[in-house]
């Protein structure tokens, strides 16, 4: 199974000079999965702060890499339950992060992210290539 990459990993790889640890990790992977949530977040950033080079890179990245995972009713329900449970415990998380976490959980994929604290307690395996 290929890992699900969080938006911050794609953003890092998109940089002119990515963090070498993240670059090495990415080069060792055969492929990635990407959530539609990350596509929205990247497109927001590219529209807010236009960069033709980054837009071209992102288009090529989506063509080369893996499966784009949609939000299904099951994923939405799981994310809602996660957010409800965490909120009841006094832990605030964004809807986007919990949709990504639920996607990883229901597809049984590790999530690759810099922001591991944002996904703690979600029942998924986390990989932080910034620490490799």
Helices 7-14, 20-28: inter-axial angle, 10-degree rounding: 110
CA–CA dist 63, 87 (Å, integer): 37
The predicted structure's pLDDT at residue 85: 97
The predicted structure's pLDDT at residue 74: 98
Contact by Cβ (8 Å): 4, 107: yes
The predicted structure's pLDDT at residue 103: 98
Q: Are strands 126-127 and 111-112 parallel, antiparallel or unpaired?
A: parallel
CA nearest to 37, candidates 116, 87, 94? 94
Query: By 3-state DSSP, what share of the chain in percent is helix, strand and coil, each rounded to 5?
Result: 60, 10, 30
- For the chain, the domains span 4-131
pTM score, two decimals? 0.95
The predicted structure's pLDDT at residue 66: 67
Pick the CATH number of 4-131 from 3.30.70.580, 3.40.50.10600, 2.60.40.1930, 3.40.50.1010: 3.40.50.1010
User: Counting Cβ atoms within 10 Å, is residue 66 exposed (0-12), middle (13-18) or buried (19+)?
Assistant: middle
Q: Dihedrals φ, ψ of 122, to 5°?
A: -95, 0
Q: Tens-digit pLDDT profile for the chain (132 aa)? A: 899 999 999 999 999 999 999 999 999 999 999 999 999 999 999 999 999 999 999 999 998 886 899 999 999 999 999 999 999 999 999 999 999 999 999 999 999 999 999 999 999 999 999 996
């Amino acid at each position: 199974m290929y890992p699900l990459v969080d938006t911050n990993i794609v953003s890092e790889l998109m940089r002119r000079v990515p963090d070498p640890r993240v670059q090495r990790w990415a080069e060792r992977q055969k492929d990635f999965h990407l959530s539609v949530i990350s596509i929205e977040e990247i497109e927001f950033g590219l529209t807010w702060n236009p960069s033709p080079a980054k837009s071209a890179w992102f288009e090529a990245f989506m063509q080369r890499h893996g499966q784009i995972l949609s939000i299904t009713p099951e994923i939405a329900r799981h994310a809602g339950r996660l957010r409800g449970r965490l909120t009841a415990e006094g832990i605030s998380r964004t809807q986007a992060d919990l949709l990504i976490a639920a996607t990883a959980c229901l597809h049984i994929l590790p999530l690759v992210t810099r922001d591991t604290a944002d996904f703690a307690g979600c029942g998924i395996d986390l990989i932080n290539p910034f620490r490799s």
